[in-house]
Chains A and B, each alone.
Chain A
Amino acid sequence: DAKTTQPNSMESNEEEPVHLPCNHSTISGTDYIHWYRQLPSQGPEYVIHGLTSNVNNRMASLAIAEDRKSSTLILHRATLRDAAVYYCILRTGNQFYFGTGTSLTVIP
């Protein structure tokens, strides 16, 4: 069974905020939550990661639920270059477990 579940696809208007949800109900106390994105014919690209507290960087914000069973990746202003497949991933020890990803379409 997948360790993370995400919606298959989402749409957003350009310059609007985007909230990408992820459920990880079987997460353990030492698992890190990572987000990567992938453009066609490229390898995944790191976006953000966290353990318990909300995290911000230049690309995005990560909001982690208090019980850690879900998280949300927030893109503050979607651009056309943000159109990609976004993966929510659990890092358990030395292993990364990818979900099936959310394909984000950005509408001009």
Chain B
Amino acid sequence: NAGVTQTPKFQVLKTGQSMTLQCAQDMNHEYMSWYRQDPGMGLRLIHYSVGAGITDQGEVPNGYNVSRSTTEDFPLRLLSAAPSQTSVYFCASSAQRNSPLHFGNGTRLTVT
């Protein structure tokens, strides 16, 4: 059982470039979410989705877009990368409103 899979594991971008971080889960979870983790800080919610076709903003949504065309996939798009987006990004999913979150192993992104 793969759980939550994030790709790539590492990425280096130049300022202004765009890219998509991929997240897929094979547990048929309705709820999916993206977080960023900066040094010395806890995780902060970027965007989340409660089902296919439904997305909403979290604490720090600026500079990021998401879509949810299928239950399995929840990609995170950086439209024009900035050095402030250097961070570790985690994707998580859960079955129901108050079920535990299952996290992927993260993508470490550096923007130069």
- Contact surface of A with B, Cβ cutoff 8 Å: 2, 32, 34, 36, 41-46, 49, 87, 91, 94-101
Chain A nearest CB from B30 CB (Å) reads 11
How far is B97's CA from A32's CA once the two chains are assembled, in angstroms?
10
One of B12-20, B43-51, B68-76 contacting the partner: B43-51
How far is B43's CA from A45's CA once the two chains are assembled, in angstroms?
13
| Residues of B in contact with A, size category | 20 to 34
The residue on A at minimum CB distance from B100 is: A46
Contact (A49, B44) CB under 8 Å given A42-B105, A43-B92, A43-B103: no
Chain B nearest CB from A28 CB (Å) reads 15
- Contact surface of B with A, Cβ cutoff 8 Å: 4, 31, 33, 35, 40-45, 48, 50, 56, 58-59, 90, 92, 97-98, 100-106
What is the count of residue pairs linking A and B with beta-carbon distances less than 8 angstroms?
A: 54
Contact (A96, B40) CB under 8 Å given A36-B101, A42-B105: no
Please give, as numbers and ranges, the residues of chain B lying within 8 Å of A87 by CB-CB distance: 42-43
A99 & B100 in contact (Cβ 8 Å cutoff): no
19 A-B pairs with CB atoms under 8 Å apart are A41-B105, A41-B106, A42-B106, A43-B90, A43-B92, A43-B105, A44-B43, A44-B92, A44-B101, A45-B103, A49-B98, A87-B42, A91-B98, A94-B56, A95-B45, A95-B58, A97-B59, A98-B42, A100-B40
